[in-house]
Structure 1
Amino acid sequence: MPDSLVIILNKTTDLSKRTEILNKISDSYKTSDPDAMQKYAQEALQSAKKTKNVKEEVLALQNLGTSNIILGNYNRALQYFDQAEQKISNLNKTDQSIQEISAKNFGSKGIIYSEQNNYSQALNNDFKAMKLYESCHNEVQLSKIYNNIGVIYHSIDDQEKALYYFLKSYTVQKKIKAASLGVSCSNIGLIYLDKNLPQKAKVFFDEGLSEFQKNPNSRELGELYNNMAQYYMVQKQFETAKDYLLKAEKAFKSTEDRFGLSNTYLFLGKIYYTENKLEQALEFANKSLEISKELDLPETTVKSEELLSQIFDKKGNKEQALIHLKNYNVENKNLTKIENAKERIRTELDFESERHEIEQKEKTNREKIKWYFGFLLLIIILAGIYFFFRNKEREKTILLQKQLTEFQHKALHLQMNPHFVFNCLAAISSFIMQNDKDEAIKYLAKFSKLMRLTLDFSKESLIAIDKEIESLKNYLELEQLRFNQKFEFKIIKDPLIEDDTALPSLLLQPYIENSVIHGVVPKEGQGLIQIHFSQTEESLICEITDNGIGIETSKKLKKNLVNVHTSMAMEISQKRLETLEKLEKKKVNLTITEIKGENNTSEGTKVVLELPLEYIKD
């Protein structure tokens, strides 16, 4: 196919058509020659820029990203897909073809994050892709994304969910006679092998081998060979296992897939060690270790170090055995952290259905509250008309209205507190399940303190600024634990501010939460949130700045997300500010701006809140 397209390309002079053909040629090389794929994608990208064809530019960027995935350059690949995602935002998203391009972009990012063990981000992107493909009824791509989701669940050792999605993929692929059916067979077989059902595994492995003979795919065939080798290793048929591993090596080398090679060499090393062929075992164990370190593959690195320690011990080289045993212990600690992260992800996902139910109940409750407020508003209007015409007890009516406004203020306040409980409980549950008592106690203590402060605050309309700072510090420390120290924070109070200076309790938390969730967490690298309190003659000023992705980028990302709590919290905070302004009859100013750097690039978000200066009354 590439040769025939090249012939057509050479005969085409129209630049727009040449761009399309270049992208098609690039795509046709994805299963055989990633370097050629990259070459033609670069040509397509330059051509698309000249003709200002954004859609073809996106396709070229995606082809560049795919070729880098195959070559193991995951960070570089992610950069290309991020660029493509930005370009897609300028296209018509109601167009089905654009939806499918967007879905492909999410699916590809899911693959990268999965390979980098960032399973939460991988699932996030894959579920986005799945929804788009389901809305487009694209069964071909849907079968692939089901498979990818299954791979992620398999990676975090959730075998039941992995098998569920693999079988969904398998069913669709059988229906449409997909060329990728062999991939699902390979994955299903591996799960059955892990579940100690080797005969079921063999049935799917054999079907997968048959499918790959019909629809060759060197990279995935290499994975199947690796899986079949593991089956024969379990059966102690080591010669047959070696035959499949040598086939896997050839398949991976043909596509320059070093990720697959790392496992192939590890399995060969284990077989030769079992056969007491220590020199061959040493050779392949070293090869596996070299690749796994180069590609940052923690699990393979641990297994390679352990195997090398065993080999040198058997050879009588105690010094080298000890060196690799120490390396094994160090790498195993790192792997344990990753396994703990997997456990936390599983816990969070298990709570997902419960979260959905809670959100539905909250939605129902909000509808009831709206009806009640509407009914109360009608009463207030009727009472106002009555007292207007009767012109009696006006002062009593005004006082009643002020009290009612304050009650509404507190009611809105109380709605903000319950949402944070869920995430804290999930995190504490995760630590307990991991038997990480120290972290569980630490987290629980901070959580308990924050809840106690919240309950205390709910009784008061105003709290001292130091108490608010204490509450915010506890909240941010909990979020640091939740997101694995993804960000740092600083809280600065101007020395001129009196200790009895007061502000509405928990008013700032939704804005700080927004900085965490939609600012610094999506940012690559370490985040920083700074909170600064100062005052003028009449106002208390709070500035919240972060070095996150910026409000405009965040809005683009949130277009495809539904975050009921965040939108509700921000809406409630806005209502509280409006109520405060009416109650105090003083201006309350809120500004949210994006921080721009050189070349007009986003460097974060700044929130400035100016409140009337108030004090705690003795």
Structure 2
Amino acid sequence: LEEAQQHCLTANAIFLKLQSVDDIVASFIHIGRITYAMGYVSTALNYFMQADNILNEYKHIDEFLKAQIFYYIALCHNKIGNVEQAIEYSLLARDRLKVLENKKQYGETLMILSISYGKENNIDEAIKYAKEASRIFRDVQNTKKIAEIESCLGEIFAKGGNYEESFLHLNKAVKLKEDIDDKTIVDTKFKICSNYIKQSNFDMGLNIIAEIEKDISDDDYASRIKCMKYLFNIYVKKEENNKAEKVLLNGIKFIENIDRKEDLADFYVLLGKFYYNTGEKQLAAKYMEKGIDIYKGMGLILKESI
């Protein structure tokens, strides 16, 4: 990254002498994208802001460059969690991209808006922009993006309690992802399972988990572990404690044979809480202690969500 930064600064020194504003801005955008991809989001945001400042300083009018910069600034704010700024810059980028008819980037900007409004629990606005993004991407036949939006819409409708509409969009997403062999289909199926659990339709939830287990590869440990957590949750809600206990014990055996300490700690704590709720206090203390010891060893704290 340091080498890339140095090249960028060297190039910009030359561009400044030549007063080549387009090249200066393009250079900042380029280094910003590299920095963002490496995970340094705040630093990337700074580069994109510098690009915008250059345009303003030189009073250089280029609506496409301006739209690009606003889009990347919105992307950074959304990643950091600055929801209001993400919405503000998304709207700025949207207005310019709409005029320019850059449909792909316009659609991506609408997606950021939808996600940002979703984080604010503004369901109506989230749905509105997700639908508009879906229409835009359908125009450019970007199936992967459409599937992503349909999955996002399904989650938003579920959050608002409209499960009928949620299932409609999630099933569309599954179909699209099947057509292009998109591995993220598993994530969408987990969302469908969550809907069934919320509706207390546990048998359908079990069917979805069975589908997922059949589809995922042997080395997809994250999905296998997630399946076990879903199964445990379903069996607890069905008050089938023997099955719930068996899932966790089998899960612990499975995780002990792979290098996933945090997941192992999660399962120890889940089992400890399970035993506590079923009145087996000694076993509860044993497994809670095991889990907490692993968390401490990793410098983590007990997860409230477990």
TM interval, shorter chain, is: 0.5 to 0.7
Given that residues 146 and 168 in structure 1 are in contact (C-alpha distance below 8 angstroms), is that contact kept between their aligned partners in structure 2? yes
Q: Which residue of 2 aligns with 1:167?
A: 49
Matched, 1:154 2:36: yes
Provide the rounded CA distance (Å) in 2 between the counterparts of 1:209 and 1:278: 30
Provide the rounded CA distance (Å) in 2 between the counterparts of 1:152 and 1:328: 34
Provide the rounded CA distance (Å) in 1 between the counterparts of 2:177 and 2:127: 20
The one-character-per-residue Cα deviations of 1:453-495 (angstroms, maximum 9, x if unpaired) are xxxxxxxxxxxxxxxxxxxxxxxxxxxxxxxxxxxxxxxxxxx
Q: 1:140 to 1:436 in 2, by over 3 A?
A: farther
Given that residues 28 and 51 in structure 2 are in contact (C-alpha distance below 8 angstroms), is that contact kept between their aligned partners in structure 1? yes
1:206 aligns with one of 42, 66, 91: 91
Residues 586-601 of structure 1: pairs in structure 2 closer than 5 A: none
Provide the rounded CA distance (Å) in 2 between the counterparts of 1:283 and 1:332: 31
Matched, 1:262 2:262: no
Provide the rounded CA distance (Å) in 2 between the counterparts of 1:306 and 1:273: 13
Q: 1:162 to 1:131 in 2, by over 3 A?
A: closer
Q: 1:159 to 1:297 in 2, by over 3 A?
A: farther
1:269: Cα distance to partner?
0.9
Instruction: Name which one, 1 or 2, has greater alpha-carbon Rg.
Output: 1
1:325: Cα distance to partner?
5.1
**Gapped runs of 5+ residues in structure 1?**
1-119, 337-434, 438-618
1:140: Cα distance to partner?
2.6
Matched, 1:240 2:125: yes
Given that residues 114 and 126 in structure 2 are in contact (C-alpha distance below 8 angstroms), is that contact kept between their aligned partners in structure 1? yes
Given that residues 308 and 324 in structure 1 are in contact (C-alpha distance below 8 angstroms), is that contact kept between their aligned partners in structure 2? no
The one-character-per-residue Cα deviations of 1:359-382 (angstroms, maximum 9, x if unpaired) are xxxxxxxxxxxxxxxxxxxxxxxx
Given the two structures, how large is their TM-score scaled by the length of structure 1?
Answer: 0.30
Q: Mean Cα displacement is larger for which, 214-223 or 323-332? A: 323-332
Provide the rounded CA distance (Å) in 2 between the counterparts of 1:332 and 1:229: 34
User: The residue matched to 1:183 in structure 2 has which SS?
Assistant: helix
User: The residue matched to 1:180 in structure 2 has which SS?
Assistant: helix
Residues 213-232 of structure 1: pairs in structure 2 closer than 5 A: 213-232=98-117
Q: Which residue of 1 aligns with 2:22?
A: 140
Given that residues 306 and 324 in structure 1 are in contact (C-alpha distance below 8 angstroms), is that contact kept between their aligned partners in structure 2? no
Q: Percent identity?
A: 13
1:223: Cα distance to partner?
0.9
Given that residues 178 and 185 in structure 2 are in contact (C-alpha distance below 8 angstroms), is that contact kept between their aligned partners in structure 1? yes
Matched, 1:177 2:61: yes
The one-character-per-residue Cα deviations of 1:155-180 (angstroms, maximum 9, x if unpaired) are 45332232133223333444433223
1:305 aligns with one of 189, 197, 202: 189
Provide the rounded CA distance (Å) in 2 between the counterparts of 1:128 and 1:142: 14
Read off the aligned partner of 2:193 and give its amino acid letter: S
Matched, 1:322 2:227: no
Provide the rounded CA distance (Å) in 2 between the counterparts of 1:234 and 1:283: 22
The one-character-per-residue Cα deviations of 1:529-556 (angstroms, maximum 9, x if unpaired) are xxxxxxxxxxxxxxxxxxxxxxxxxxxx
Given the two structures, how large is their TM-score scaled by the length of structure 2?
Answer: 0.56
Q: Mean Cα displacement is larger for which, 201-210 or 135-144? A: 135-144
Structure number with higher helix proportion:
2
Structure number with higher strand proportion:
1
Read off the aligned partner of 2:213 and give its amino acid letter: K
Q: Which residue of 2 aligns with 1:575?
A: none
Q: 1:284 to 1:161 in 2, by over 3 A?
A: same
Given that residues 186 and 212 in structure 2 are in contact (C-alpha distance below 8 angstroms), is that contact kept between their aligned partners in structure 1? no
Q: 1:233 to 1:129 in 2, by over 3 A?
A: same
User: The residue matched to 1:190 in structure 2 has which SS?
Assistant: helix
1:205: Cα distance to partner?
2.2
Read off the aligned partner of 1:164 and give its amino acid letter: N
Provide the rounded CA distance (Å) in 2 between the counterparts of 1:286 and 1:314: 17
Residues 157-556 of structure 1: pairs in structure 2 closer than 5 A: 157-174=39-56, 175=58, 176-178=60-62, 179-292=64-177, 300-314=184-198, 316=201, 317-323=204-210, 326=213, 333=220
